[in-house]
Amino acid sequence: MLKFGEKGYICNYMDNSIQSQAIRAGAEQAMVDSEFRALLQAYTASRHRKKVEIIERAYRFAAAAHRGVRRRSGEPYILHPIAVARIVISELGLGSTSICAALLHDVVEDTEYTREDIETNFGPKIAGIVEGLTKISGGIFGDRASMQAENFRKLLLSMSTDIRVILIKMADRLHNMRTLSALRPEKQFKIAGETLYVYAPLAHRLGLFKIKTELEDLAFQYEHPQKYAEIKEKLAAGEAHRLDIVEQFVAPVRQRLDEAGFKYEIKARVKSAYSIFNKMEKKKIPFDEIYDIYALRVIFENEDEEKERVRCWEIYTFFSDGYAVHPDRLRDWTSVPKANGYRALHLTAMGPDGRWIEVQIRSRRMDDIAELGYAAHWKYKTGVSDDETELDKWMNTVKDILANPEPDAIDFLDTIKLNLFASEIYVFTPHGDLRTLAAGATVLDLAFDIHTELGSHCIAGKINHRLVPLSHRLDSGDQVEIITSKAQTPKREWLGFVHTAKARNALRNLLKRDKGAMLESGRKLFADFLERKGIPLTDSLMERVLRNYRLATADDLYMLLARDEISLSPDRLKEADRKRSSMMKRLLRNPFRQKYRTAPCCSPLPGDDVVGFKDTDGRVYLHKTSCPVAIKLSSGQGSDIVAADWQAGNSTFPARIRLEGIDRTGIIADIGSTLSERLDTGISHLQIDVSAEVFECTLTVNVDSSASLEKIITCLKEIKGIKIARRIS
Ligand code: MN
Q: If pLDDT is split at 50, 70 and 90, which confidence band does 6 have?
A: very low
Q: Is the pLDDT of residue 597 over 80?
A: no
Quote the ligand 1 centre to 89 CA distance (angstroms).
16
Quote the ligand 1 centre to 88 CA distance (angstroms).
13
Q: If pLDDT is split at 50, 70 and 90, which confidence band does 636 have?
A: low
Q: Which pLDDT does position 410 carry in this prediction? A: 32
Q: Which pLDDT does position 648 carry in this prediction? A: 66
Quote the ligand 1 centre to 106 CA distance (angstroms).
5
Quote the ligand 1 centre to 172 CA distance (angstroms).
5
CA nearest 452: which of 496, 408, 498, 417? Answer: 498
> Could you tell me which residue, 278 or 602, shows the higher pLDDT?
278
- pTM for the full model? 0.50
Quote the ligand 1 centre to 290 CA distance (angstroms).
38
Q: Which residues, including other chains, have CB under 8 Å from residue 359's CB and lie 6 or more apart?
A: 295, 296, 297, 298, 319, 346, 347, 348, 349
Q: Which pLDDT does position 256 carry in this prediction? A: 94
Quote the ligand 1 centre to 176 CA distance (angstroms).
7
How crowded is residue 561: how many other Cβ atoms within 10 Å of its Cβ?
Answer: 22
Q: Which pLDDT does position 39 carry in this prediction? A: 94
Average pLDDT on 278-290 reads 82
Average pLDDT on 386-408 reads 47
Q: What is the phi-psi region of residue 584: left when phi exceeds 0, alpha when psi lies from -120 to 50, beta otherwise?
A: alpha
Average pLDDT on 11-36 reads 73
Q: Are the beta carbons of 345 and 333 closer than 8 angstroms?
A: yes
Q: Which pLDDT does position 647 carry in this prediction? A: 67
User: In Å, what is the CA distance from 689 to each residue of 389, 465, 622?
Assistant: 50, 22, 31
Q: 188: which DSSP letter?
A: H
**Protein residues with C-beta less than 5 angstroms from the ion ligand 1:** 106, 172
> Could you tell me which residue, 684 or 86, shows the higher pLDDT?
86
Encode burial over 77-103: b for 16+ CB neighbours within 10 A, e otherwise: bbbbbbbbbbbbbbbbbbbbbbbbbbb
Quote the ligand 1 centre to 400 CA distance (angstroms).
28
Quote the ligand 1 centre to 150 CA distance (angstroms).
20
Give the integer Cα–Cα distance in Å for 79 and 103.
Answer: 10
How crowded is residue 340: how many other Cβ atoms within 10 Å of its Cβ?
Answer: 22
| End-to-end alpha carbon distance in the chain | 103
How crowded is residue 196: how many other Cβ atoms within 10 Å of its Cβ?
Answer: 18
Average pLDDT on 359-364 reads 92
Average pLDDT on 289-314 reads 86
Quote the ligand 1 centre to 139 CA distance (angstroms).
12
How crowded is residue 662: how many other Cβ atoms within 10 Å of its Cβ?
Answer: 18
Q: If pLDDT is split at 50, 70 and 90, which confidence band does 351 have?
A: confident
Q: Which pLDDT does position 447 carry in this prediction? A: 94
> Could you tell me which residue, 89 or 564, shows the higher pLDDT?
89
Q: Is the pLDDT of residue 158 over 60?
A: no
Q: Which pLDDT does position 146 carry in this prediction? A: 40
Quote the ligand 1 centre to 284 CA distance (angstroms).
38
Quote the ligand 1 centre to 142 CA distance (angstroms).
9
Quote the ligand 1 centre to 166 CA distance (angstroms).
13
Q: Are the beta carbons of 459 and 483 closer than 8 angstroms?
A: yes
Q: Characterize the bridge pairing of strands 596-598 and 620-624.
A: parallel
Q: Which pLDDT does position 386 carry in this prediction? A: 46
Encode burial over 108-145: b for 16+ CB neighbours within 10 A, e otherwise: bbebebeeebbbebbeeebbbbbbbbbbbbeebbbbee
Average pLDDT on 291-296 reads 77
Q: If pLDDT is split at 50, 70 and 90, which confidence band does 141 have?
A: very low
Q: Which pLDDT does position 66 carry in this prediction? A: 92
Q: Could you report the per-residue pLDDT of 105-116, keeping only the tens digit for each?
A: 999 888 888 889
Average pLDDT on 424-430 reads 74
Q: Where is average pLDDT lowest: 55-64, 526-535, 588-597?
A: 588-597
Quote the ligand 1 centre to 81 CA distance (angstroms).
6
Q: Which pLDDT does position 78 carry in this prediction? A: 94
Quote the ligand 1 centre to 164 CA distance (angstroms).
15
Dihedral over Cα of 646, 652, 658, 661: its sign: positive
Q: If pLDDT is split at 50, 70 and 90, which confidence band does 589 have?
A: very low
Quote the ligand 1 centre to 220 CA distance (angstroms).
21
Quote the ligand 1 centre to 174 CA distance (angstroms).
10
One-letter amino acid for residue 502 of the chain? K
Average pLDDT on 360-387 reads 65
> Could you tell me which residue, 425 or 481, shows the higher pLDDT?
481
Q: Which pLDDT does position 254 carry in this prediction? A: 94
Quote the ligand 1 centre to 66 CA distance (angstroms).
12
Q: Are the beta carbons of 317 and 302 closer than 8 angstroms?
A: no
Q: Which residues are catalytic?
A: 109-110
Average pLDDT on 628-646 reads 64
Q: Is the pLDDT of residue 299 over 80?
A: yes
* Residue percentage of the chain with pLDDT more than 70: 76
Helices (H) and strands (E) in the chain, counts: 27, 18
Q: Is the pLDDT of residue 62 over 90?
A: yes
Mean pLDDT of the chain, nearest integer: 77
> Could you tell me which residue, 593 or 605, shows the higher pLDDT?
605
Quote the ligand 1 centre to 222 CA distance (angstroms).
19
Give the integer Cα–Cα distance in Å for 540 and 549.
Answer: 14
Average pLDDT on 191-220 reads 82
Quote the ligand 1 centre to 31 CA distance (angstroms).
19
